[in-house]
Chain A
Amino acid sequence: MKCVLLAHSPLVEAAPSGLNICSHKYTKVRSEAPVLPRLATFRQAMPKALHIDPADYAKPGALAFPAVPVRTYARSLSEERKRRGDRTLRDVLRQMMVVREFESMLGAFKAKGAYQDIAYSYKGPAHLSIGQEAAAVGQALALQPGDHIFGSHRSHGEFIAKGLAAISRLAPDELTRIMAAHQGGALLRTVEKNLPSNSTEGLAENFLLLGLLAEIFMRANGFNAGMGGSMHAFFPPFGVYPNNAIVGASAGIATGAALWKKLSGDGGIAVANSGDGSTGCGPVWEAMNFAAMAQFCTLWDDGKKGAPPILFFFNNNFYAMGGQTIGETMGWDRLSRIAAAANPEAMHAETVDGGDPLAVADAVERKREILLRGDGPALLDVECYRSGGHSTTDANVYRSKEELAAWQAHDPIATFRAKLVEAGILTISDAEAMQEAARAQIRAVTAAAVDPSISPIVDIRAQPTLIGRLMFSNEQIAPPAGEAALLKAPEETARARQDAKKSRFGLTPEGEKLSPMRAITLRDALFEAILHHMRHDERLIAYGEECREWGGAFGVYRGLAEIMPYHRLFNSPISEAAIVATAVGYALEGGRALIELMYGDFIGRAGDEIFNQMAKWRAMSGGALKLPIVLRCSVGSKYGAQHSQDWSALVAHIPGLKVAYPATPYDAKGLLASALSSEDPVVFFESQRLYDVVEQFKPGGVPADYYRLPLGEPDVKRQGTDLTILTIGPSLYPALAAADALAAQSISVELIDARSLVPFNYEPVLNSLRKTGRILLVSEASERGGFAMTLAANIARFAFASLKAPPRVLGAPNWIVPGAEMETTYFPQIEDIVDAAMLEFFPERKAERRGIRNWNDLELARAGL
């Protein structure tokens, strides 16, 4: 197989000076092997490139922080006129008016059920940005259509401003092409018919406003087919990417988008818009640190050096609902101070006057240049004031009249308008006409959005499974066949030579198990699927904690660091939220991500990112976005209560995630290949106890060539007639031994491995039950709410007529996982499975209990314990 070889990255040379990118980030890179202290007689063979010299850290001193500029914008209006032209300045005013009118319309519907002469009852959320228009329009003025913004619950203004700015920059042909491509041109036709304009630009503005408002009203012709709504609406062709109802969630997603922009060469920057309150969110800090990782400068190959181009743009309106960030809920005095924590450049942070669109534009323009140079990330603290409520149910009890009045005097629209009038850029009557035009435009758009004959409601009665069909694309990419740039031919690595000598099957002809050094293990099988995708698909990147030199916490990636350059395989910070959120951003931009959580128990650290982001964006985009992400989670053992839990049910419960949990090398390779080919997000569980298992079921062993096994198909591992045992994950092995023990008592077991949890084809299980009439489900998850319980409940429904006894679930008890010494008392063991089978299904045999589970689990279950 041909492979493109990259020159070895210059890890052992000192960082070059005088380079633009990263020149400020000099870090000592080892130039010769250091003399290491003798800690042991052996050490890992792939030492880090960066040498940590105690002498460097022993010197006393003091840390200095860069000065963070606060409101230093001082350009005169006459200079701005020269730079931007009067037409642009007038348009800035007009755009702010359009934003305010749009928000006022929603506010009027919420407050009075009417706007101008239009009556409408709008049921959804309205987090309005009245008072914050200069931040949105100033930002958009500095951005190009290819720059991507990600926002918050309060992002209508940013959406409109970015859209208007893109429309003013795109050529009419391009605008027409974009509009015609959306929804097969349906929205464009609606706009042409109901909101005509004599210019393409005018038509595109109406298209933008109607697409957004119809989406807010959850109509079928909304930009996201009515599946997003006020807080989630977006429209990528104008650079408006998902807004997010979870405070701060866009920070990580936008960072992943910036990584895609950097790696794909798509150009432009990503902007994470959020409020000052989001500086209290852990995932925002994780995202900023991820974006500031030094390795982009110290370790990545020359062609890929530089930070992802991400701007963290805080719309700092001094409040998070009723909490005041300054003086009450946060410790910072000026928001931009937080940037000092991220890196020595303090993220080039600045505090700017968010009441002045030109001050904002100036700052964004300067940050954008820094970002495009690879010297990011950047942070802007944009101070502004929300003159309306947090939402329309806000009684404003937390603010004084005096404070509101004081800020009224700084209203961005009134201030900017007065400035332009004073400079003679427009007359008062021009300004009034402009305001009238904005009112008329929003009125016309609103009339079209409320009218169900123009903007049809999403008719779930007529299409009851419409939303269900949006959950998954169920698409797969063709087997990857490209040739990615590699550091070394995979065949030349020690691992490849070693694995090549291994037996593909794990048993000797006499039925003896081979050692993991002599036969392909589950770990090796996973590696083969990963290597195939990585070497043939440049879009795929893999990262997580300890993925590089360590080879993944459990060695699945061992050897991959010799093959893959840093930008394809890298160590992430200990930031589970950022790992998943960046993968979401990277994938929805067009990339593919393979990420790893060391332990499934760390899912909690990335809860929002897995449950609300990775799982939801396909459906919330009305099926427009794809999320090709594989999240590998190992399921631990031996480390006790916080490192040994099977949480597969938690993930399977969340709509929008596919879930696999293979137990054999053959299944692991084929299922991982399918997961990596999937256009839908897959959570892939791997038992740490199984990494060393060799193939014992497939007589031909694990094929060396690439193959896929479909997600969602349970597999009959052994045929039988008296009892079906359905296992999830590693329970397959004790169940197999139990089946042998039961055979000795002339009970013939049919053994089925679930392999996947979502989707799950019940047919093989139901077929089996037609023979056996009895089913025992075994898993290592605690029983209450476990996935085996879901399976059992469904099986009782589907197979009622075939059942001779109720389905029985044997899981772990609903208490903490004890330490290694007590684990066998917790996870179902061979004897426990035999006991459950004998006592539950064959009581007439009067078997003696062999295991230690001598507690009344039925009574506990009846008490819900």
Chain B
Amino acid sequence: MDVPIVMPQLGNEIEEAQVDEWLKAVGDEVGVGEPVLTITTPKLTMEIEAPASGRLKEIKVAAEELAAVDAVLGVIETE
């Protein structure tokens, strides 16, 4: 099953944030709760954790790109 990693809602007024860095490469195993990427808003830098265990199947927003809240940043494929 494919589980999307989405840009979280980070505050009322924030509409987009930047993907800073992918901590995993496509094909890497990830466990649920493991940090997979960092993002930055005008105020904060945060880690985003894997929503499910599996394999990082696809990166949809590359490092240093901007993405809107709710955008799919990547996909995890579970067993």
Residues on A lying within 8 angstroms of B by beta carbon are 38, 41-46, 494-495, 497-498, 501, 515-518, 521, 523-524, 551, 554-555, 558-559, 691-692
Contact = CB atoms under 8 A, between A and B. Distances in A.
A45 B42 contact: no
Residue of B13, B33, B45, B47 with most chain A CB atoms under a 10 A cut-off: B45
Interface in B36-58: 38-49, 51
B46 A44 contact: yes
Contacts of A517: 16-18, 41-42, 66
B64 interface: yes
B72 to A, nearest CB: 14
Interface string B46-79: 1111010000000000001010000000000000
19 contacts: A42-B39, A42-B46, A42-B48, A43-B49, A44-B45, A45-B38, A46-B45, A494-B38, A494-B40, A498-B18, A517-B41, A523-B42, A524-B42, A555-B42, A555-B44, A558-B40, A558-B43, A691-B42, A691-B43
Nearest to B47: A45
B15 interface: yes
B27 interface: no
A667 to B, nearest CB: 19
B40 A495 contact: yes
A691 B13 CA distance: 12
A331 to B, nearest CB: 43
Given A41-B49, A42-B49, A558 B44 contact: yes
Contact of A555 (B16, B43, B47, B49): B43
A517 B52 CA distance: 29
A555 B11 CA distance: 13
Contacts of B66: 517-518
Contacts of A523: 42-43
Contacts of A497: 64
Nearest to A524: B42
A521 B13 CA distance: 14
Contact of B8 (A42, A45, A501, A554): A42
A45 B46 contact: yes
Contacts of A691: 42-43
A532 B55 CA distance: 43
A46 to B, nearest CB: 7
A551 B43 contact: yes
A498 B47 CA distance: 16
Nearest to B6: A41
A13 B18 CA distance: 32
Contact of A494 (B13, B16, B21): B21
Contact of B64 (A44, A501, A515, A551): A501
A43 B18 contact: no
A522 to B, nearest CB: 10
A551 B44 contact: yes
A558 B18 CA distance: 14
B45 A45 contact: yes
B14 to A, nearest CB: 8
Contacts of A494: 20-21, 38, 40, 45
Residue of A46, A524, A559 with most chain B CB atoms under a 10 A cut-off: A46
Contacts of B17: 517
B6 to A, nearest CB: 9
A42 B45 CA distance: 10
Nearest to A552: B43
Contacts of B45: 44-46, 494-495, 558-559
Residue of B38, B41, B42, B66 with most chain A CB atoms under a 10 A cut-off: B42
Contacts of B41: 517, 555
Given A41-B51, A494-B38, A498-B20, 7 more contacts: A38-B33, A38-B49, A42-B39, A501-B64, A516-B42, A551-B44, A558-B43
A523 B14 CA distance: 14
A539 to B, nearest CB: 28
Given A38-B33, A494-B20, A518-B66, A43 B42 contact: no
A515 B16 contact: yes
Contacts of A501: 64
A551 B44 CA distance: 8
A497 B21 CA distance: 12
A692 B18 contact: no
Nearest to B42: A516
Nearest to A501: B64
Contacts of A559: 45
Contacts of B16: 515, 517
Contact of B48 (A41, A518, A521): A41
A44 B42 contact: no
A268 to B, nearest CB: 41
A501 B66 CA distance: 11
B42 A521 contact: yes
B15 to A, nearest CB: 6
A607 B51 CA distance: 48
A22 B23 CA distance: 37
Contacts of A498: 18, 20, 40, 64
Nearest to A46: B45
A542 to B, nearest CB: 17
A672 to B, nearest CB: 17
Contacts of B21: 494
Contacts of A44: 44-47
Nearest to A47: B47
Nearest to A820: B12
A517 B66 CA distance: 8
Contact of A43 (B13, B20, B40, B47): B47
Contacts of A45: 38, 45-47
A345 B46 CA distance: 38
A139 B43 CA distance: 49
Nearest to A33: B35
B33 A692 contact: no
B64 A43 contact: no
A545 to B, nearest CB: 16
Contacts of B39: 42
Contacts of B15: 515
A275 B20 CA distance: 55
A42 B40 contact: no
Contacts of B64: 497-498, 501
A551 B18 CA distance: 17
Residue of A42, A495, A551 with most chain B CB atoms under a 10 A cut-off: A42
A559 B44 CA distance: 9
A518 B66 CA distance: 9
A495 B42 CA distance: 9
